[in-house]
Amino acid sequence: MALRQILHHPDPRLRNKASPVASFDAELGKLIDDMLETMYDAPGIGLAATQVNVHQRVVVIDVSGEKSTPLHFVNPVIAETTGEEEMEEGCLSVPGVFETVCRAEEVLIHAFDRNGDPFEMNADGLLAVCIQHEIDHLDGKLFVDYLSQLKQLRIRKKLAKEQRQYD
């Protein structure tokens, strides 16, 4: 397994739309394992392949808080949504920014596992928020896109300033 580098906003590669996975092979398994390791190392509760510059529809999540429930979703789609809920979100690609976003309260996900077997999962609470956040990444969307233009401008300036301190 290996850690992969996480892209930071406003890297234009975070805006790529990911392609569906076509072959369920050893390379996919390695990507999933590397993404789980990278997510736990960060640490985060989810990671989309887009964030590690792989533009394929792969997501990993573990909302257990104790690394006990690693989940992966290949070619995930939201089949049904119910209700609305506000939650404070953060993103490993937008470090240090936490803002409230409104999303569906409950979602039914259709996806495939690493072997290519289809499954469905009903999600609510933090898991529902996280899977919606991750599927947005696969479509080139970030949680900050839901905020006002003024907030988005402030966030871009803050991240640009922090970036300059590393250069």
Q: Please enumerate in sequence order all residues whose Cβ is within 8 A of that of 154, keeping only pairs 6 or more positions apart, or say none.
A: none
- 134 given a catalytic annotation: yes
91 near Ni ion, judged by CB under 5 A: yes
89 near ligand GNR, judged by CB under 6 A: yes
Say if residues 5 and 49 touch (Cβ distance below 8 Å). no
Beta strands in the chain (DSSP E): 46-48, 58-61, 71-82, 85-89, 99-103, 106-112, 118-124
Tokens in use for 115?
């072997």
Tokens in use for 45?
């509760």
Which one, 98 or 119, has the nearer CB to ligand GNR? 98
129 near ligand GNR, judged by CB under 6 A: yes
Shortest Å, Cβ 47 to ligand GNR: 5
Contact segment (CB under 5 A) with Ni ion among 9-17, 86-94, 111-119, 157-165 equals 86-94
Active site positions, annotated:
134
Interacting residues toward ligand GNR by CB under 6 A: 44-48, 51, 89-93, 129-130, 133-134, 137
